[in-house]
């Protein structure tokens, strides 16, 4: 694995840790030239999945796009990078477990919302406000009321 700091092509693994029930592996590496440490993730390659967007267009499923959405929702919240990676991998795994070649973007959004709801309620509401395209304060309040009633 190439060092992200100096570009040297040799590194050693100093720690490996399974994520998401062993479906993915997080590795801490140390560059053999500069000595700096960096993290890599290893995961199985899945068959390609296409997303059917709201307007009917289709595009390839991009887990990095999902991760960016989760990161944005968790901005300035106390959610660690490892938890964000874990949520991202969980969404990816669930998408592929569906076994479909085409999936509605709504399904992806619902999977992300389920992950966020279990981790940080503010991040969940942030994501929901963009994903569900709240038109006014009352729809926003409806979502918060629903969240509160589910907690009871």
In this structure, the answer to whether residues 95 and 34 fall within a common structural domain is no
Whether 35 and 93 map to the same domain: the answer is no
80 and 24 in a common domain: no
Q: Which domain holds residue 15?
A: 1-44
- Mean pLDDT, all residues of the chain: 90
For position 119, what pLDDT does the model report?
Answer: 94
Predicted confidence band of residue 109 (pLDDT cuts 50, 70, 90): very high
- Calculate what percentage of the chain has a pLDDT beyond 90: 64
Whether residues 116 and 144 fall in one domain? yes
The confidence score (pLDDT) of residue 152 equals 64
Q: Which pLDDT score, from 0 to 100, does residue 53 have?
A: 93
Read off the tokens for 41: 């993730």
Residue in 104, 108, 82 with CA at minimum distance from that of residue 93? 108
User: Are 53 and 27 part of one and the same domain?
Assistant: no
Whether residue 98 sits in one domain with residue 116: yes
Model confidence band, residue 24 (pLDDT cutoffs 50, 70, 90): confident
| Same-domain check for residues 122 and 138 | yes
Split into its structural domains, the chain has a count of 2
Residue 88 has pLDDT above 80, yes or no: yes
């Amino acid at each position: 694995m190439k060092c992200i700091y100096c570009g040297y092509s040799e590194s050693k693994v100093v720690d490996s840790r399974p994520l998401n029930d062993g479906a993915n592996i997080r590795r801490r590496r140390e560059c053999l030239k500069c000595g700096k440490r960096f993290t890599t993730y290893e995961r199985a390659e899945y068959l390609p999945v296409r997303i059917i967007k709201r307007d009917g267009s289709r595009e390839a499923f991009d887990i990095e796009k999902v991760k960016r959405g989760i990161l944005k929702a968790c901005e300035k919240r106390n959610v660690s990078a490892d938890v964000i990676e874990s949520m991202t991998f969980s969404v990816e795994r669930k998408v592929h477990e569906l076994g479909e070649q085409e999936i509605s973007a709504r399904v992806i959004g619902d999977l992300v919302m389920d992950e966020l709801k279990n981790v940080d309620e503010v991040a969940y509401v942030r994501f929901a406000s963009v994903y569900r395209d709240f038109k006014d304060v009352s729809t926003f309040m409806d979502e918060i009321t629903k969240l509160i009633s589910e907690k009871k």
